[in-house]
Amino acid sequence: MAQAVEEWYKQMPIITRSYLTAAVITTVGCSLDIISPYNLYLNPTLVVKQYQYWRLVTNFLYFRKMDLDFMFHMFFLARYCKLLEENSFRGKTADFLYMLLFGASVLTGIVLIGGMIPYLSASFAKIIFLSNSLTFMMVYVWSKQNPYIHMSFLGLFTFTAAYLPWVLLGFSILVGASAWVDLLGMIAGHAYYFLAEVYPRMTNRHPLKTPSFLKALFADEPVVVARPENVRFAAAPFDEIHQD
């Protein structure tokens, strides 16, 4: 069992493995009172006036107390972050990291701006950790890139992946969790998907080009799929694409 977990962990792509490790260590450290959450949460005043810039990062690493909700989000993080990095962003590690940085920036900006809007400031003031929202953003992006995959929710009903964010949002509301957290993730995910995939197809412009300094950090190589000569592959029928 331990060996299987070790192999599963080692086979994770670098960004997924790094983020999952940092999130687990941070959350476990807070649960054991080794780390104080008060040193991690997003506080614009402390960031600007006391130069505590680490809060811009650490608020994405803490997933509150270790309960069923924590396990759900660790599953989402390990699964959908891994699926994105291994498939949509295969051979494009820098682009994947840039997507996460873009999402984190959008989420932080929304919370900061929302905190200045009358009637909404009280709701946004309660959002001091954005880890769940960033995880939900990855779920949203994956669902937009794989809309026709068939899925099942707790064995109760089936649906296509395009509706996965809405199913999870409804589940959050049913269990009494804040809908704001999931909605923020959906907004950030839609912003990325539109600017990275929809807008370029409409205008042939690419506003989310990955900075060269990020590309220099990763020695990405083009993905080459070898196939025998004179062999043609037909696309799989639509109704055969499914996922349990």
Residue located via tokens 């402390």:
46
pLDDT value of residue 236: 46
Residue range 20-76, pLDDT digits in tens: 999 999 999 998 989 999 999 998 889 889 999 999 999 999 987 777 777 877 888
Q: How many domains does the chain have?
A: 1
The CA distance from 191 to 29, in Å, is 33
CB 153: neighbour CB atoms within 10 A? Answer: 14
The CA distance from 88 to 150, in Å, is 18
pLDDT value of residue 222: 53
pLDDT value of residue 19: 93
The CA distance from 236 to 167, in Å, is 27
Torsion of CA 48, 18, 223, 99, to 10 degrees: -30
**207 within a domain of the structure (yes/no):** yes
**243 within a domain of the structure (yes/no):** no
Does an H or E element contain 186, and which? Answer: helix 179-193
Please give the residue that has the higher pLDDT: either 119 or 212. Answer: 212
pLDDT value of residue 221: 52
pLDDT value of residue 45: 86
Domain with 208 in it: what CATH number? 1.20.1540.10
- Residues 202-226, mean pLDDT to the nearest whole number: 77
Instruction: Tell me which residue range forms the domain holding 190.
Output: 1-218
Please give the residue that has the higher pLDDT: either 237 or 10. Answer: 10
Q: How many residues does the chain have?
A: 244
**165 within a domain of the structure (yes/no):** yes
Residue range 62-120, pLDDT digits in tens: 987 777 777 877 888 888 899 999 998 988 999 999 999 999 999 999 998 887 888 77
pLDDT value of residue 220: 57
**Residue closest to 164 by CA, chosen among 152, 178, 179, 177:** 152
Residue range 120-156, pLDDT digits in tens: 777 778 889 999 999 999 999 999 999 998 988 777 7
Mean model confidence pLDDT for the chain: 84
